[in-house]
Chain A
Amino acid sequence: MNKFVIALSLFLVGCQLGGTTPTPGPQFYATGTQGLDVRVNTLSNNQLFMCEEGEVLLDLHNLGTSDIAQGIYTLTIEDQILKPVGKTKKQGSYSLEGRSAVNPVGGYTQLGFRFKTNNLPAQLETYQTPFIFNACYPYATSANIPVCIDPTRDPQAARSCKTTPVSGKGGQGAPVLVTLVEPLMVVQDNAVLPTFIVHIANAGKGRVVSTDSLGFACGNGGGTPSSKVRVMAQLQDEQLKCLPEMVDLRQGETKVTCMSNTYFGAAEGRANQGTFTTPLTVQLEYGYVTTLFYPFTITRLAHQEDCSSTQETYTPSTVSTSTDRGINWPPRS
């Protein structure tokens, strides 16, 4: 009896082991309207005394779905009031992975900036000076909007879907999003030529620039950065013709018309697929600028006249940005 029970148990356990069912990946959905999120870490200190060293720690989090391969940042400060110390640079670069099924939270990094306050003009007891952080990065939106291709003209035929506008207002994991897609089935002969009116808007808190204007946007060289978004659309492996190809979002929501060259519902060929749902893939390419404003308040101590004679001299460093702070903390007096 005992042997039978043991054999049965082994048999049941064996049945549960093995098998060829693959483990599915986590269900990841590209939603949201954020790209790079820049926040001031709570360890930062913007209330300084004259001649004191302070530090600003910024948390950079890529909350969108596009990878940031070559993002650049610039700092705008009053050089006569705040002097960078140590490895602190006013320009740098960073790279952050976007959210995906294998990385649902997105890439994260920290940037540290250390400063020393200079003398305040004699008549001032306190002074507020700006600290402006500009992050400029190329970004992309990949929207998969389910649309209905309906070449059927039979009024009584059951349909698997209806040709109605599809909203994308939940976002596609990027600050520039497709807000609405209006499908139009243009009837020609016995078939339809699908056309889509794609509505695009900037829902993020930053500014859209062209990808080739990112340098200008972060203060490199002269000129005014342009603000164009490249629009591409694909339907069933066919690249659609979109007009205009580049749109300017400075005036708000903009529409683009994307047309297919395939006659769906034709009697022969691959286009004869009846009424069906398929994803319209809209790819938007652009640059984005996220700006953080973090003013310093500098206070003169009572009877303080000027800083000590030994001042650190700012030397531009070629060390790239990393999360390693490489400084002495807390500062030695």
Chain B
Amino acid sequence: MRKSVIVLFVVLLSCTQFNTGTEQKQPTTGYRTGSQGLLITFLPNLPPPRVFDRDPFNVVLQVENLGTGRVGNGLDRLYISGFDHNLITGIGTDGIPLPLLEGRTQYINRGGLDTLSYRGTIRSLTEKRIDKYQPLILATACYHYETIANAQVCVDPDPYAPTSTARVCTPTAVGTGSQGAPVAVTNVQVDAAPGWTRFTINVQNVGGGSVFRNGNHYLAKCSPYNPGLAFDELDFVQVADVMISDTSIKSSCKPIDSSGHLRLQNGAGQIFCELNAPQGQTPYLTPLNIVLKYGYRQTIAKPVEIYPLS
């Protein structure tokens, strides 16, 4: 009886192995979704909610790329702050470089994941006659990111043409949702006129963090140990390109400043671009490709209580 059960078990196990087969992996359509870039979390108990002085102070953070852009080019960094460096020593103010974390693709449905650790020491509180020290530990990630939005838009070279033929499409607003990045192109409105088509591209910061100008100089200013980004550096995204089919129409886009940045107000903004003299006589569908580049800052917090050890 026992032998027959074992044989049956082995047979069932083998059948499961054989049935997996060699299915071809199909690309995931619509992988550009979601409104997050980098996800940062404190690992449980690192640091613990209550620690004692003269103990090591260990902080470990997990970073995961939930978006479709790439993170970690050497200048992207993670900082911890919010505490007195005289009381918790050994933790620098330069931060730690973020490792290279690839974004999601149509073939890989999960982005890169890694952990970063900080090790410090708590000085004696008894000597300073301090009964309790309660800092709020902040972890701040400063990184470059990119949003690539694709929308199928209808271009009508002659919207007022008197014709009774069936139209392929009618120029109308296209909802694009989010694209796997913290800054999203939420929708595109299409306004057709004879000889030109205007696109109103709505952009919004949906990630919950702060967006700032694209560039290494601004990335350095993002550090919590820096006086901070100025009002004319925050809430800007760089319009890297706007392409309709293979034609770039970025030069027609407004309002963009000299460095190609669009200012967001209350986290949202609009770009107005034009396609002059579209080809053909009849309406047609064509892809509109929008690329935005920007710096992004995210912060999480964890309270800690430090007591003197008698």
Chain A residues near B (Cβ < 8 Å): 22, 24-30, 101-102, 142, 144, 146, 151-161, 190-191, 236-237, 265, 267, 270, 272-279, 281
User: Are A160 and B137 in contact, CB atoms less than 8 angstroms apart?
Assistant: yes
User: Are A279 and B227 in contact, CB atoms less than 8 angstroms apart?
Assistant: no
Stretch among B1-9, B59-67, B124-132, B166-174 lining the A interface:
B124-132
User: Are A27 and B307 in contact, CB atoms less than 8 angstroms apart?
Assistant: yes
Residues of A contacting B235 in the complex (Cβ-Cβ under 8 angstroms): 156
User: Are A152 and B227 in contact, CB atoms less than 8 angstroms apart?
Assistant: yes
User: Are A142 and B129 in contact, CB atoms less than 8 angstroms apart?
Assistant: yes
User: Are B84 and A236 in contact, CB atoms less than 8 angstroms apart?
Assistant: yes
- Bound-state CA distance A233–B128 (Å) is 12
Interface residues of B in 202-251 (CB under 8 A from A): 210, 223-231, 234-235
B135's contact among A236, A237, A267, A277, by CB below 8 Å, is which?
A277
User: Are B309 and A278 in contact, CB atoms less than 8 angstroms apart?
Assistant: no
Q: How many residues of B contact A (CB 8 A)?
A: 41
Interface residues of B in 117-155 (CB under 8 A from A): 128-138, 140
Chain B residues touching A, majority SS: loop
- Bound-state CA distance A273–B86 (Å) is 10
B224's contact among A28, A161, A275, by CB below 8 Å, is which?
A275
In whole Å, how far is A238's beta carbon from the nearest beta carbon of chain B?
A: 10
User: A29-B132, A274-B224 given. 14 additional CB < 8 A pairs?
Assistant: A24-B309, A27-B307, A101-B308, A144-B130, A153-B230, A157-B228, A160-B136, A161-B136, A236-B84, A236-B86, A272-B225, A273-B93, A274-B225, A275-B224
User: Are B129 and A144 in contact, CB atoms less than 8 angstroms apart?
Assistant: yes
8 A-B pairs closest in CB distance? A25-B310, A154-B228, A160-B82, A158-B299, A278-B84, A160-B136, A274-B81, A274-B224
19 inter-chain pairs at a CB distance below 8 angstroms, sorted by A residue, are A24-B310, A29-B132, A30-B131, A101-B308, A102-B310, A142-B129, A152-B227, A157-B297, A159-B82, A160-B301, A265-B227, A273-B225, A274-B223, A274-B225, A275-B82, A277-B134, A277-B135, A278-B84, A279-B130
B83 at the interface (CB under 8 A from A): yes
A24's contact among B52, B138, B228, B297, by CB below 8 Å, is which?
B52
Residues of A contacting B210 in the complex (Cβ-Cβ under 8 angstroms): 156-157
B254 at the interface (CB under 8 A from A): no
Residues of B contacting A28 in the complex (Cβ-Cβ under 8 angstroms): 131
- Bound-state CA distance A32–B58 (Å) is 35
Residues of A contacting B198 in the complex (Cβ-Cβ under 8 angstroms): none
Nearest opposing residue in chain B for A270, CB measure: B85
In whole Å, how far is A1's beta carbon from the nearest beta carbon of chain B?
A: 23
User: Are A22 and B52 in contact, CB atoms less than 8 angstroms apart?
Assistant: yes
User: Are A146 and B308 in contact, CB atoms less than 8 angstroms apart?
Assistant: no
Residues of A contacting B93 in the complex (Cβ-Cβ under 8 angstroms): 272-274
Known: A22-B309, A236-B86. A277 touches B228 (CB 8 A): no
Contact with A along B162-197 (1 / 0, CB 8 A): 000000000000000000000000000000000000
Known: A27-B307, A277-B134, A278-B87. A161 touches B227 (CB 8 A): no
Nearest opposing residue in chain A for B228, CB measure: A154
Nearest opposing residue in chain B for A160, CB measure: B82
Residues of A contacting B129 in the complex (Cβ-Cβ under 8 angstroms): 142, 144, 281
Nearest opposing residue in chain B for A152, CB measure: B228
Nearest opposing residue in chain A for B81, CB measure: A274
In whole Å, how far is B263's beta carbon from the nearest beta carbon of chain A?
A: 14
Residues of B contacting A142 in the complex (Cβ-Cβ under 8 angstroms): 129
In whole Å, how far is A220's beta carbon from the nearest beta carbon of chain B?
A: 32
Residues of A contacting B52 in the complex (Cβ-Cβ under 8 angstroms): 22, 24
User: Are B308 and A276 in contact, CB atoms less than 8 angstroms apart?
Assistant: no
In whole Å, how far is B70's beta carbon from the nearest beta carbon of chain A?
A: 24
- Bound-state CA distance A275–B93 (Å) is 12
Nearest opposing residue in chain B for A149, CB measure: B84
- Bound-state CA distance A272–B223 (Å) is 11
- Bound-state CA distance A279–B131 (Å) is 10
- Bound-state CA distance A155–B234 (Å) is 9
Which residue of A24, A101, A153, A276 has the most chain B CB atoms within 10 A of its CB atom?
A276
Residues of A contacting B128 in the complex (Cβ-Cβ under 8 angstroms): 144, 279, 281
- Bound-state CA distance A107–B84 (Å) is 34
A155's contact among B231, B297, B301, by CB below 8 Å, is which?
B231
- Bound-state CA distance A267–B82 (Å) is 17
Nearest opposing residue in chain A for B303, CB measure: A160
Which residue of B137, B225, B234 has the most chain A CB atoms within 10 A of its CB atom?
B225
User: Are B85 and A144 in contact, CB atoms less than 8 angstroms apart?
Assistant: no
Which residue of A154, A155, A191, A281 has the most chain B CB atoms within 10 A of its CB atom?
A154
User: Are A101 and B310 in contact, CB atoms less than 8 angstroms apart?
Assistant: yes
A153's contact among B86, B223, B225, B227, by CB below 8 Å, is which?
B227
- Bound-state CA distance A27–B129 (Å) is 13
A154's contact among B81, B136, B234, B301, by CB below 8 Å, is which?
B234
User: Are B310 and A160 in contact, CB atoms less than 8 angstroms apart?
Assistant: no
A276's contact among B82, B230, B234, B307, by CB below 8 Å, is which?
B82
Nearest opposing residue in chain B for A65, CB measure: B129
B86's contact among A27, A30, A161, A278, by CB below 8 Å, is which?
A278
